[in-house]
Amino acid sequence: MTERELDRIIEMAWEDRTPFEAIAYQFDLPEKEVIKVMRKHLKRSSFNLWRKRVNSGVSKKHLKKRNPEIDRFKCSRQKLISGNKISKR
């Protein structure tokens, strides 16, 4: 995994509205592996805050918690994402 991919995975994991399934789709990385990446690359306190937020009702990291009318991983205004070649800005 390149540094750029790692940065993007961490960024996507931090975003409340990006589900784990989107990360798995783009990077072939299941939720358990995302958690391992976050644990390894974040300070312990940051990791604990992230896990607390992910498991709270605020985060929509799990598709089960999302509104069923939302059936996409990305904003309708976002450029087409293909594979791992992602440009956020």
* pLDDT, mean of residues 33-53: 94
pTM of the model: 0.67
Tell me the one-letter amino acid at 50: W
Look-up of token digits 């598709």? 63
Helix (H, G, I), strand (E, B) or coil at 14: helix
* pLDDT, mean of residues 61-73: 60
- Whether residue 10 has pLDDT greater than 90: yes
* pLDDT, mean of residues 50-62: 76
Q: Which long-range contacts (CB under 8 A, 24 or more apart) does 57-64 make?
A: 58/16, 59/16, 60/16, 60/17, 60/19, 61/13, 61/16, 61/18, 61/19, 61/20, 62/19, 62/20, 63/19, 63/21
